[in-house]
A and B are shown apart, each in its own frame.
Chain A
Amino acid sequence: SYELTQPPSVSVSPGQTASITCSGDKVGDKYVCWYQQKPGQSPLLVIYQDDKRPSGIPERFSGSNSGNTATLTISGTQAIDEADYYCQAWDISTPWVFGGGTKLTVL
């Protein structure tokens, strides 16, 4: 089965850049998306098709995907960005597979 691996936690100071990685075998050959989930809320799509932002998502959110690693980058991180972030891709062996999630702390 296909697996996506994320760091359990990432910390960043307000105003700095946060990078959250998502590792998987040849993940660069797949489309990756990212979801933000705040406590008690449902997931929110923030990046799709590797690097596209849905309407209403701030420009500080960006994505990239190459080789074995996809990355979500949040520039000028704000306190409101503190949340869990999940990557997700599609693989024929494990359709719609999610990473384990990364807790982003802004401190």
Chain B
Amino acid sequence: EVQLVESGGGLVQPGGSLRLSCAASGFTLSSYWMHWVRQAPGKGLVWVSRINSDGSSTNYADSAKGRFTISRDIAKNTVYMQMNSLRAEDTAVYYCAREGEDNGNYYYYMDVWGKGTTVTVSS
């Protein structure tokens, strides 16, 4: 069964750091792009970051640039998001998602999602 399980969320003070993890099973990360998407309480979905299948390319939303870093460990089949200089507005549920692909072609959709991990930034 294809599955994504996030962990690492919690309560952190403004200016602090957290590292989120996303363990994948049922498929190998080396074949897929992976994303982090967040959802603030009562708000909509917001894309945060993407890493490509071989780890050579990453993209970030403006809100994450310079503060967040996406990475992956193929041996552990796990994606990470290192979040530094956290702000109150980073409070959200963070979802890990897999980019769908069709015979090696990408059409920019996310076909598998984890259940999310909650990050709360507050003093």
Seen from chain A, the residues whose Cβ lies within 8 Å of a Cβ on chain B are 31, 33, 35, 37, 42-45, 48-49, 54, 86, 88-90, 95-101
| Contact yes or no, B59 A48, CB < 8 A | no
- Minimum-distance CB pairs A-B, first 4: A90-B108, A33-B109, A96-B47, A48-B109
Name which of A31, A42, A86 has the most chain B CB atoms within 10 A of its CB. Answer: A42
Q: How far is the CA of A97 from the CA of B46 in the complex (A)?
A: 7
Task: Find residues 45-95 in chain B having any chain A CB closer than 8 Å to their own CB.
Answer: 45-47, 50, 59, 95
A residues in contact with B95, CB < 8 Å:
42-43
Chain A residue at minimum C-beta to C-beta distance from B60 = A95
| Contact yes or no, B113 A95, CB < 8 A | no
For the residues of B in contact with A, the DSSP-based class is strand
Q: How far is the CA of A50 from the CA of B116 in the complex (A)?
A: 26
| Contact yes or no, A97 B100, CB < 8 A | no
Q: How far is the CA of A49 from the CA of B101 in the complex (A)?
A: 11
Interface residues on B, range: 20 to 34
Seen from chain B, the residues whose Cβ lies within 8 Å of a Cβ on chain A are 35, 37, 44-47, 50, 59, 95, 97, 100, 102, 107-111, 113-116
B residues in contact with A101, CB < 8 Å:
44-45
| Contact yes or no, A54 B113, CB < 8 A | no
Q: How far is the CA of A99 from the CA of B43 in the complex (A)?
A: 11
Q: A35-B45, A48-B109 are in contact. Are A95 and B115 (CB under 8 A)?
A: no
| Contact yes or no, B47 A86, CB < 8 A | no
CB distance from B26 to the nearest CB of A (A): 15
B residues in contact with A45, CB < 8 Å:
100, 109-111, 113
Q: A33-B108, A90-B108 are in contact. Are A43 and B113 (CB under 8 A)?
A: yes
Q: How far is the CA of A99 from the CA of B46 in the complex (A)?
A: 9
CB distance from B119 to the nearest CB of A (A): 15
